[in-house]
Each structure stands twice: as structure tokens, then as C-alpha cells.
Chain A
Amino acid sequence: MSPDSLYLDHAATTPLLPAARDALLHGFAIWANPSSPHRPGRAARAALEEARARLKAALHWDGEVIFTSGASEALALAISRCVQPLAGVSVVEHEAVLRHAGDAARIPVDGLGLVDPAASALPGLVAVQQVNNETGVMQPLEAIAAAVRGAGGLLLADSAQGVGKLALPDADLIALSAHKFGGPIGVGALLVRDWALLRPTGGQERGYRGGTENLPGVLAMVAALEAGAGWLDHAVELRDRLDTAITAAGGVSIAEETARVPSIAAYRMPGKSANAQLIRFDGMGIAVSAGSACSSGSLRTSHVLDAMGIDGANEVIRVSIGRETTEADIDRFIAAWQQVAG
């Protein structure tokens, strides 16, 4: 990143924390295979299991943990190996859920992007995310979990955007990704309330996920998690500042009226397409995005904003704040926004 760059795309990925980098480099030196029976292998196994225990402690999770290559793999694993077939998904899920959804019921959202818990009461596996990756909207997962379980179902929560920022949701299966909270790309986990909820396929991770474990990645993920979320209080102030300034400049803050994770905001600039905005911001050295990174660059409109019935969905960009984002960064973005809006 050149010194004049401004990165406000932390929901796509956020910088590796120094503690995570140190843990990764330490992990590179513990390179034996944790499945090997000899001393270095057992040392690698011990480090892996200690990291698992630390992850559970940091998350206050007393269920099981399956390390994966990321949230996409964790979600695929949950959906393909759960003892209950997928019965429903919210329409605002990430593609990593939606593309597995087949003919499962689509659970609608209201104009603020919220799922009605009653509509999620389905007997089977129900996937509802904790935090939307495009708008930051937080789902009422406690009520949704109660509704799903009341119907005899199980709740799968994609918490890729929530873990490391919010308390874990009350769900039966939870997917997370390290690089969304300061860990490295290429590692994540599926949390499982009880092994009995999944069918094993053999291999490592108690037979639930084959492949040599990425120990350096796991160590770095745990170190990132332990860094805590104290910075979010500051993020609330920064986003309030953004909301106020952009609204005053004629922009629209999406789902401003509902609970959102403080690090993600979506803004509509009436009359300017998101792609045109991105090109202008990119030229000014400012990294923001239209929707998710995976769909950026494509011309299709956001399924999330469409589902919410947002006017001018193709004029909305996502601004996401990180641990190191400063007030000066926000003011620079606001000035750039005013310039682009003309």
C-alpha cells in the first residue's frame, strides 16, 4: 500500500495483526505434521490442540471446533455433512451459502434487511448470517435460533463478518474466517455444538475434515482473535461521523435505522453508478467496494440490496472500517465523496 493509499475495504480483508504475524512466523518453525507419531509431530499436535483450546476460550465456545481453509469451506462442510438437510436460507446470505441452497426455502427480509424469526421456523438446517457483509445489518439470531429449534431445526450462522467483533451468536453450527478479523487468509473454522450434528467423512479433525492441518495459520488466527474487539467503540464514532457527513452531502445511508456492525456501512450516491464511483475513488487511492469482493467488478446488482427493495441499488458502495482507521482517514473519504458526488 503506497503511503497515500486509504484502505476502507476491511470487510473484504483486513491487515494481518502484528501478533498474528508473529504467531505465523513462529508456526512456520513448527513444521512437522501434527499426525506424525514422533516427537516433532507430537509437538505440532500439542500446539494445534492448545490453539484449539485458546480459540474456544476466546470465543466462549464449549462445543467442538473443526479447522478449515476458510469460511467458504466451513459452510460447504456444514451444509453437505449436517444430519439435517438444508431447509431454508435467508435471501441475504453470502454466495457461499446461497449457491449450496438448491431448492431450500428462501427466507425473505424486510426493507432493513432483517429476517422475521417466525419465517425461519423450519424443520431442518436453516442458514442465517450473523452480519451482512454488504450492509453490516445484524440479524436477530437469538430469536431466530429459538424459532428454528422450536420447529425441530438446526441453525447455521455464517459469522464471517461477526467473529472477532461481536459475541458468538447462539447457533448450532457457526462458520468463521480468520482474515476478516486480522488473521491470515487461508484459515477458518466450523464450530459445531455437538459432533452428532455432522456425518464424518474420515481424515483429520476427528474424521470431519481431511487434509494436513495448517498449523501456522491456526496459531495466527487464534492470536488475532485474542487481540480483542476494543477498537469497535472507536469504529462506532467513525461511522457516525461518516453517516452524518454523507447524509448531509445528499447521500443515503443504507439500513441506518437498524442495528449494524460498526465496521461496515453502505452508502448510495444518487445519480452515480457504483462502478463509476469505484473508478473515481480508486484513482484517488481510496479502496472501497461495491458489495462483496467476490462480486466486485461484475455488473450485476447486489442480491442483498435487491432483496431489501433499495432504490438505486446500483448506486451503492460499501465502506468498511478497520482497527487502524483514523478520524483523518474518514475526513479524507468524506472530502473525496463530496468531490465525486459533485
Chain B
Amino acid sequence: MTYLDYQATTPLAPEAREAMLRWLADDGFANPHSAHRMGRAAAAAVEVARDQVAALFPPGGKVVFTGSATEALNLAIRGGPYGPVAVSAIEHAAVRDTARWFGSDFELPVSADGVMDPEVPFPDEAKLIAVMQVNNEIGTVQPVARLAERARAAGALFLCDAVQGAGKIAPPAGADLIAVSAHKLYGPKGIGALWVRDGVHLSPVILGGGQEGGLRSGTLSPALCAGFGAAAALSLARMAQDAAHVEALRDAARDVLSRWTLNGSADRRWPGNLNLRLDGLDVGRLMSECRTIAFSAGSACASGSGRPSHVLAALGLSAAQAKNSIRLGFGRYTTRDELIEACRTLDAAARSQGV
């Protein structure tokens, strides 16, 4: 099986797994909020992990651990009150749906190459602007530093979903709130974080024991925190190396798939994402004929809901073009040989369809 779905989730890094084992051992358990000695040892491990995760973000803020990036985004959006929220047309459902349910819903357009105009007009009423750093479906990198600067000038807060960029590229500068997920950077599932700039005040969504400075109640898992911390530290240490590897993979894949059309900008994208289309391609048939390759249909919303992709629609692609699209995602543990082999298999299967 060749796994080419790194935007959906990434393999657990052995280093992250190892970091968790200490807190899964017989003598490793404790509630980090307990006052006794064992509780204090667990709390210390959580704080070490918090520092490791904090290194993913700019200075000048604090890390709030959550159960997922979705929860972090919910906390950021629902923790207001801000007033009206404006979100980009290509945000993940975790932002779009939350903004729709809990705030009013202004949509900021995106250009045909999947990159926002950094000078896109903001609605005057908007008090929170949400634009993601790297799009999960097409990999385009957004001009978040400029957008954040303009949001500030307009008196609005800026929320950045950095799930796909964290640990891979430099953090979004100027954001007030940044959400990340451990399992997209080779860490465990079940933990994410919201970074909150100093001076930004939020109200909690999950109330209770008052953990995380009162912003997020619920017992923290020392194991999940340690796994997240180890994965973050590894990603930062390997950032240049991982990026070079992924660029080389991208070049190799593009060579094989040179006749396929790339959805979204070729230059302003994370190289570990190729969203490609071939006119007339039957993606369902391709998936069933290439069962040893794990990839996603470009047409389906990445949340797994089966909804059509709002991202490809926002690029101006027709429904047919969206249905002709696939998403290939690769990363640290993908080898050049397996990727080339998979791309050849996909291309040959497409040809056998007559496209």
C-alpha cells in the first residue's frame, strides 16, 4: 500500500510514539491536575510538551491544548464575542460551519489559482477574519501575514487555521489566534492546540475543572501532550530536510504526471500536495482499480461528508472538472520509488480509461 493522503492524516512518527510510551507505562499514569507528587510529575511533562508545541508559533502568546484542531477552531470562533465573522471561501468545514452556526457568515473570495488577494476587501462589520495558512485540498499558501496586518488595521482579530502548515513552513506572522493539530504533523490523534496572542481574551466553550487557565476544561493527557510535543520538536528540527524531500518528491511526481492539470497555483503551494485533474477521468473507477494506492478524490469535501468540494468550486472549476480531480499528498515517510511507481500506476489506469 502506498499512502498518498498526507493531508488527511500523517503516519505517527516513531519518536512521537516513543515519547508517549513513558506516560502509558504502569508507573506513568497520573492526573496532571492532581496536587500530589505523581500529579506534579505529570504536570511537568505537560509543560515540557507545551514549550515544544509553543515553538510552532510566533512569540508572544500562549498554547491552549484541545482535543483537536476542530475544537481549537470552535474555541477561537465561539469564544468571542467578536460580532460578525468573515472567512475565506476555501476554509475547512471546521471554520466554515462553525462561523455559519455561531456567527454571521461573510465569505472572502479567492482567485482562480486558489490564492487570496492580500488586498481583498473586508466587510466593514467583520470583527474576526479567518483565513487558513495552507489549504487542505489544493495546498495553496495564503498571504496570511498581509491579511493579518490589514485585519489589525481594520480593528478585527485574525484567526489562522495552520493545520496543514504547522511544522512545515514558518508560522503565520501577525495572527491573533492560530489552530493546529498533532496528527497532521506526525503526532497522535486526539490532541490539537489553539495559540492565543497575549492580550486576546476568549471565553471557554468546554467548562468544568478550569484546566488550561480556565479556557478548556477536561483532564489533559500527559501521553498525548508528550507525543504532540515530540512531533512538533521533530518537525521543527527537520523542517528544511522534510521540505527538500517533499520538493524532490513533487518534481518526481510531476514528471510522471506531466499531462495532468494542476488545480491551484503551481508556485504558491505546499509541495506535498498535488491536486490534479484529467478531463473525462472517472475517479471512482480509478480508485477501485488502484486499490494499492491510498489517495483522495478531489471532488469530495475533505471532511469526509461526501459534500462536493467548495474549494474547487471557489476556483471556478465546473462540477465536471471537480469530478475529474484527485488529491495526492506525500511527506516525510514517502519514498521516491514508491511515489513514482504509484504515479505510473495511476497514469496507466487513466489511460486505460481512454483519458
Contact = CB atoms under 8 A, between A and B. Distances in A.
Interface of A: 1-2, 5, 7, 9, 12-16, 21, 24, 28, 31-41, 68-73, 75-76, 80, 94-97, 99-100, 177, 179, 184-187, 201-204, 207, 210-217, 278, 281-282, 285, 287-289, 292-297
Given A38-B287, A40-B3, A73-B206, A186 B70 contact: no
A39 B210 contact: no
A143 B217 CA distance: 30
Given A31-B10, A99-B208, 8 more contacts: A7-B38, A12-B39, A72-B219, A186-B224, A210-B68, A210-B303, A214-B190, A289-B34
6 contacts: A32-B3, A35-B8, A37-B300, A95-B207, A210-B74, A214-B189
A76 B219 contact: no
| Most A C-beta atoms less than 10 A away, residue of B35, B71, B181 | B35
Contacts of A184: 24, 221, 223
A297 B35 contact: yes
Contacts of A214: 67, 188-190
B31 interface: yes
B46 to A, nearest CB: 11
Interface in B317-337: none
Interface string B202-236: 00011111110000011111111000000000000
Contacts of B287: 37-38
Q: Top 7 A-B pairs ranked by shortest CB distance?
A: A35-B304, A294-B209, A69-B67, A96-B208, A214-B190, A211-B68, A99-B207
A37 B190 CA distance: 20
Interface stretch (B110-118, B255-263, B272-280, B288-296): B288-296
Q: Chain B contact residues (Cβ within 8 angstroms of A): what range?
A: 35 or more
Contacts of B35: 278, 282, 289, 293, 296-297
Residue of A217, A281, A292 ringed by the most chain B CB atoms within 10 A: A217
Contacts of A39: 1, 291, 294
Contact of A76 (B31, B70, B207): B207
B90 to A, nearest CB: 17
A37 B304 CA distance: 8
A37 B295 CA distance: 8
Contacts of B66: 69
Nearest to A45: B304
Contacts of B34: 9, 12-13, 287, 289, 293, 296
B94 interface: yes
A294 B220 CA distance: 11
- Which of B34, B188, B208 has the largest number of chain A CB atoms within 10 A? B208
Nearest to A14: B29
Contacts, number: 231
B37 interface: yes
Interface string B24-53: 101101110111111100000000000000
A224 B26 CA distance: 15
A95 to B, nearest CB: 5
Interface of B: 1, 3, 5, 8-12, 17, 24, 26-27, 29-31, 33-39, 66-71, 74, 93-94, 97-98, 101, 181, 183, 188-192, 205-211, 217-224, 287, 291, 293-297, 300, 303-305
A186 B188 CA distance: 11
Nearest to A40: B294
Contact of B29 (A2, A13, A31, A285): A13
Contacts of B69: 211
A278 B1 CA distance: 55
Contact of B37 (A31, A69, A282): A282
B189 A212 contact: yes
Contact of A296 (B26, B33, B291): B33
A15 B26 contact: yes
Contacts of A38: 5, 287, 293-296
A14 B218 CA distance: 15
Contacts of B94: 203, 210-211
A31 B16 CA distance: 13
Contacts of A281: 36
B296 A13 contact: no
Nearest to A2: B27
Contacts of A72: 206-209, 217-219
Contacts of B219: 13, 70, 72, 177, 179, 185-186, 293
Contact of B188 (A28, A35, A282): A28
A319 to B, nearest CB: 12
Given A202-B97, A211-B68, A287 B8 contact: no
B70 A203 contact: yes
A292 B209 contact: yes
B55 to A, nearest CB: 22
A305 to B, nearest CB: 17
A149 B219 CA distance: 32
A15 B291 contact: no
A72 B74 CA distance: 15
A210 B24 contact: no
Contact of B36 (A9, A41, A185, A292): A9
Contacts of B9: 31-33, 36, 212
Contacts of B223: 184-186
Contact of A282 (B36, B191, B224, B296): B36
A293 B219 CA distance: 9
A294 B210 contact: yes
Most buried by A among B9, B211, B219, B293: B219
A272 B318 CA distance: 75
Contacts of B224: 185-186
A21 B20 CA distance: 11
